[in-house]
Amino acid sequence: MFIKYFGMRKKINNFSSQKKNSTLSRTLSWPHLVALGVGAIVGTGIYTLAGVGADRAGPAVIIAFVIAGLVCATAALGYAELSTLIPEAGGAYTYAYSAIGRHIAWVVGWSLILEYSLASSTVAVGWSAYLVGWLQSFGVMLPPMLLTGPHDGGLINLPAVIVALSIAILLTAGAKESATLTLILVIIKLLALVLFVVLTLPAFNLNYYHPFMPYGFGSTLSPDGKVRGVMAAAAILFFAFYGFDTVATAAEEAKEPKRDLTIGIIGSMLISTLIYVGVAAALLGAAPFSSFIKSGEPLALVLRGLGHEMAAKWIAAAALIALPSVIMAMIYGQSRVFFVMARDRLLPPSLATVNKQGTPSRVTLFTGIIIALIAGFFRLDELAELANAGTLLAFITVGLSLIILRFREPDRPRRFSCPLPYWIGSITILGCLYLFASLPLHTTLRFLLWNAIGLVFYASYTVYKRRKALLPL
């Protein structure tokens, strides 16, 4: 009955028995994995969401960051245990295949494709906007027709296409080389944020923190029709933290998976939370929160208000340099999900091949082309919310897989054991279900439509494979 509804499960012991040309090279150490996680997490969120969160919670947005980080931390603990128990590529897709079954694994994999594609496309479009604004500050104007897609009267968002394809090509050079570049970009990003904190500290005014919690703790509807409160901000800021799951997709390329993955997942979460709280504290102490909540670049706005015009330009330049680390991490994650699904024959097996460097160059370029097309031609403001739905489903599956495997295989060795696994797994599931229910209705309907399309493809491809197997040679 279980197999009928959920499909065959893949035995954990069979994960490593792959053909040579379908095996990824183990070249990544824990600093690379921490950089990959921080590179995926700390991106547009720190440059824009601090203002969005402050609009909903006031100075108490600092608490909202901590709460959102704690919710993600429960999922991170589940990822840390499962990644060391099943040190293979694919992340939540792989865990679902082992714990629940092939059918659910397909839904999770299909949702992860949505998450990574739309998230990286959105960042590519955001990077394009940063580039245009930065060039305009120096008097350089680019043709408007090449800066937006047909939905806004343009021809193509060419900078977004170029950055997505360039990063995909860089990723084909090898996982270690790409991770080293990510590490460099992350260092630049962190130095820029440290510079922001240093420049704003002399102007720190504790009076800007009063009243600390102007809209209360719970989510309430304000007179202007907006939902405000610390928890309302936390529901938004939750999405500033996802990206650490990209580390789990690198499991098969880690030199010492049972050590490096734990450090990579938990380390990137801790570093990112400290960065968010530190920068938000400096931002809120440097200016009244009402002065920057409407800005798409609150950090640069506050620096300009303090007379640091050149520093504001350098912060924007650092964003231009560092934001590609987010795109790189997302393309990396999606290509590995594609790769493992193809290796499991849920997608065409031709995608599951590696080059001489042990890198899945074919599927990486395929991923880059898809993301470039989305970023160049499609409207992303509403579609990007679908990425959040895909992430929440992945986290729910991780919490469920953690509980199932602890119950079914309690004696299997685990390098990292999640504390209170049944509680942590349950909190992850319930917390993510609550956030999923808080998504706009049109987002939920589009997510269901996406998965309906995926199930039709899955059923059709399964029938095709079976018929092909019966054909004479």
- The reply to whether 11 falls in a domain is no
pLDDT of 453 reads 93
Half-sphere exposure of 382 (CA within 13 A, CB side): 10
Q: In CATH, what number is assigned to the domain containing residue 435?
A: 1.20.1740.10
Tell me how far CA of residue 70 lies from CA of 74, 246, 262, 436, 447, in angstroms: 7, 18, 17, 17, 26
Give one word for 412, left, alpha or beta, with left for phi > 0 and alpha for psi -120 to 50.
Answer: beta
- The reply to whether 341 falls in a domain is yes
Q: What angle do CA 149, 154, 157 make, to 5 degrees?
A: 45
Domain span at residue 84 reads 31-467
- The reply to whether 17 falls in a domain is no
Split into its structural domains, the chain has a count of 1
pLDDT of 375 reads 85
Tokens of 441: 């209705």
Q: In this structure, are residues 421 and 406 in contact, taking their beta carbons and an 8 Å threshold?
A: yes
- The reply to whether 375 falls in a domain is yes
Distance CA 220, CA 216 (A): 8
State the pTM of this model. Answer: 0.80
- The reply to whether 179 falls in a domain is yes
pLDDT of 473 reads 39
Distance CA 271, CA 255 (A): 22
- The reply to whether 146 falls in a domain is yes
Burial of 435 (0-12, 13-18, 19+ CB in 10 A): buried
Each residue's pLDDT expressed in tens, for the chain with a length of 473 residues: 445 555 677 676 655 445 555 566 677 788 888 887 887 777 666 666 677 788 888 888 888 888 888 878 888 888 888 887 887 878 889 999 999 989 899 999 999 888 888 888 878 887 887 787 778 777 888 888 888 878 777 888 888 899 999 888 888 876 666 667 777 877 887 888 888 889 998 888 888 888 888 888 877 777 776 778 888 788 777 767 777 777 777 777 778 877 787 888 888 888 888 888 888 889 888 888 888 777 666 787 788 888 888 887 787 777 777 778 778 878 888 888 888 888 888 888 887 787 776 777 888 888 889 889 888 887 765 566 677 788 889 899 999 999 999 999 888 877 778 888 999 999 999 988 887 877 777 778 888 999 999 999 998 888 877 777 654 43
- The reply to whether 323 falls in a domain is yes
- The reply to whether 436 falls in a domain is yes
Neighbour tally for 345: CB within 10 Å: 12
